[in-house]
Amino acid sequence: MSNRIQDKKREVILDSITEGVFTVDSDWRITSFNRAAEEITGIPRTKVLGQKCSDILRADVCETQCALRETMETSKPIINKAVHILDARGEQHAIAISTALLKDESGKIIGGVETFRDMSLVEELRKEIEGRWSCEDIISQNHRMHRLFSVLPNIAESDCTVLIESESGTGKELLARAIHNLSFRKDKPFVAVSCGALPDTLLESELFGYKAGAFTDAKKDKPGRFAIAQGGTIFLDEIGDISAAVQVRLLRVLQERTYEPLGAVSSVNAEVRVITATNKKLDELVEQGQFREDLYYRINVMKLELPLLRDRKDDIPLLVNHFISRFNRLRSKNISCVTDEVLAILLAYDYPGNVRELENIIEHCFVLCQAEIIEKKHLPASVCPSSSVDKVKTGEITTLKQMEILLIIEALRRNKGNQTATSKELGINKSTLFRKLKAHDIKPDAYT
Amino acid sequence: MKIAIPVWNNCVSSAFDFAHRLLLVDIQDGSEMNRSEISLDPEPISQRAIRLKTLGIDVLICGAISRSLASLVEASGIKVLPYVLGPADEILKAYLIGQLGQSKFAMPCSWPGARKGFRRERRCRRGRQ
C-alpha cells in the first residue's frame, strides 16, 4: 500500500516539472515517462512503457553516442548534451539531455534516467541570427516543392548563377540561403541585398564600395557587398528594378569576375556566387527593352520558380500548424489549433502576399486570441469572405445574375469544388448547376 | 527490385534521418538474390534522398522518418514503408510475403499519413488477387 502511495507521489512530482524525464531498466526498456516528455516527443506514455528508448526518442545520438549507455558504462553523468530527435509529428527537434544512473538500496545499478529540455526556441533564434536555413526549414508537402528540393543539392554543388523568379512572400531568400548552405561556400558569408530598396547611386556604392576621396564625404574606403561576400554568395533581390547603369556594371562582374570600387584605379577580383531573384517576368522586361538581354542570359543560367501559395494549398494546414508552434514558442502562448471554419476560410483565400501573408494572418490571430483555439473572430477582416447579403447591402451587387454567380462561387468554395454537394446545397439539379457553371464560365476546379 | 533498410545492431534503425548503415537487398521473383551493406554519412536530407535514388532503390523500409525526408524520397519515385521496427531479417521476410503491415512490426506514434504506403500496398495486393 505504502509503495503505491510512494509511486503516485513520484508520478505527481515528475509530472509537475517542465523537463522531460524518462527512466529505463538495464535492457533499455522505458519504465516511466513524464508529462513533459509526452509533450516534447508527442508520444503518450501509454504507448512507450516497455518499449526500447531508442524507438521512442529517435535521436541522432542513439546509434553511436548514446548518452545513457555512456553513463551506464562509465558511471559518469552527462549534462546538457545537445541532440536532435524526431517527434511524433515527423519534425526534428533540438533538445538538451542529461543522464544519471538509477541504483537500488544495495547500490546495484538497475537502470538509468534521462532528462531533456526542449531547445527549439533557442535553435530557431540561432538560425534566425546565423541565417543557417536549409531545405528542412522550408515547410512543404507539395510535389512541386519537393521536385525543387530534390534538385537543390545538384544546383548548389554546380556553383552556377541562379535566378529565382516568383511573387513576393514565396520564400525566395530562404531558397537562396538553402542553396548557399548546401554549397561548398557554406562557411563563407551570405550577403543579401534588396536592390529595389536603394536609389541608383547608393546601390552602386553599396554593391561595389568606394575609395576615400571618390566623392565629397568619402573620407575612408568602404567595402561593397561584393567584397563582404568574397568567397561566399551574394543574393541580389528585386534584380528587375535595377537601372541600366547598374545592369552594365553587374554584367561586367559576371563576365569578367572583376569590378572597380568607385574611385578605384585597379580592378578587384569577385570570387562570389551570384544568386538573383525577382517578382517580375524578366523575359518580358527584356522584350520591353527595360532589362539588358545579355545580362538576362548571364543570370539565367539556372532558373528556379517557386510556386505561389494559392497553387500549393495542400501546404496550408501544415504551414498553419508550423506558424502556430513558432508563435507559441516566440510569444509563450499555448494555442493548439484553428477551428475547421477558420481552416476552410484560410483554404479558400487567395494569398496575394503568399506564405508571408499567411504568417502575418496567424500572427494577427495570436494577438487577438486569448483562448486555446483560433476562431473566425480572430481573423483579419480582409481574409473573411463577406456574405452575399453584405455585398447586396453595400451595393456591390446589383443584378440577379451577379447574385447567382456569387452564390454558386460561395457554395463551391464551401464544398471544395464538389459539384454534387454544391448542387445539393443550392437546391438545384446537378445538370442545372453544370449548365449555370458553363453559362457563367465558372471553373469548379479553382475551388478544390 | 532493390530494397533498402536502414539498420543498427541487425534491427531496423529507429530513425532513417539519423541512420548510419543501410542494408541493400536485391529481390527477384520474390526471392533474395543479393545483399550488401553500406554506410551513410551525416548529410542534409535532400542529399540522403538523392543517395537512395542514385543507388537505384525501389522500396525503402525504415523506422521513423521526418515528413520532409519522406516526401523527398517519395518524390524520387521510391516507395516508402516507414515506422517499422524489429529485426531486419524478419522485416524483410514479412515484406516478401506481404505481412509487413502486421501490428507487431508497427512503431508507436507515426505522424498522420506516414503509413499510407501500407494502405496502398494492401489495396494493390487485393487488386492482384
Q: Does B26 touch chain A (CB under 8 A)?
A: no
Q: B18–A59: do the CB atoms touch at under 8 Å?
A: yes
Burial class (CB in 10 A: 0-12, 13-18, 19+), A381: exposed
Alpha carbons A280 and A129: distance in angstroms, whole number: 29
Alpha carbons A261 and B85: distance in angstroms, whole number: 61
Mean of pLDDT over chain A:
86
How many percent of chain A have pLDDT more than 90? 31
- Condensed to tens digits (0 to 9), the pLDDT of residues A214-273 reads 777 777 888 899 999 999 999 999 999 999 988 998 999 999 888 888 888 888 888 999
Comparing C-alpha atoms, which of A307, A171, A96, A149 is closest to residue B67? Answer: A149
Burial class (CB in 10 A: 0-12, 13-18, 19+), A68: buried
- Condensed to tens digits (0 to 9), the pLDDT of residues B65-86 reads 998 888 888 877 899 999 999 9
Confidence check: pLDDT of B119 > 70: no
Query: Any idea where the domains of chain B sit in the sequence?
Result: 2-128
pLDDT for position A278: 94
Q: Residue B59 carries which side chain, given as an amino acid letter?
A: V
How distant is the Cα of B41 from the closest Cα of chain A, in angstroms? 12
Supply the DSSP string of A253-321, one letter for each residue.
Answer: HHHHSEE--BT-SS-EE---EEEEEESS-HHHHHHTTSS-HHHHHHHTTEEEEPPPGGG-GGGHHHHHH
Interface of B with A in 77-96 (CB under 8 A): 85
Kindly identify which residue of chain B lies nearest to residue A48, measuring between CA atoms.
B108
Alpha carbons A213 and A261: distance in angstroms, whole number: 12
Q: B114–A150: do the CB atoms touch at under 8 Å?
A: no
| CB of B74 closer than 8 Å to CB of B120 | no
B129 confidence band (pLDDT: 50, 70, 90): very low
CATH class (in words) of the domain with range B2-128: alpha beta
Q: Does B20 touch chain A (CB under 8 A)?
A: yes
Contacts of B47 in chain A (CB under 8 A): 153, 182
Region B4-11 average pLDDT? 94
* β-pair partners for A324: none
Which domains does chain A carry?
A: 2-118 (3.30.450.20), 128-305 (3.40.50.300), 311-378 (1.10.8.60), 388-447 (1.10.10)
- Condensed to tens digits (0 to 9), the pLDDT of residues A53-71 reads 999 999 999 988 899 889 9
Which of A89, A149, A179, A319 has the most B C-beta neighbours within 10 Å, making it the best mutation to test the interface with B?
A: A149
Contacts of B46 in chain A (CB under 8 A): 135, 149-150, 152-153, 182
Q: What is residue A428's DSSP assignment?
A: S
A130 confidence band (pLDDT: 50, 70, 90): low
Alpha carbons A350 and A279: distance in angstroms, whole number: 17
Residue tagged 495570436 (cell numbers)? A366
Q: What is residue A142's DSSP assignment?
A: -
Q: A153–B114: do the CB atoms touch at under 8 Å?
A: no
| Whole-number Cα distances in Å, A153 to A137, A207, A233 | 15, 28, 15
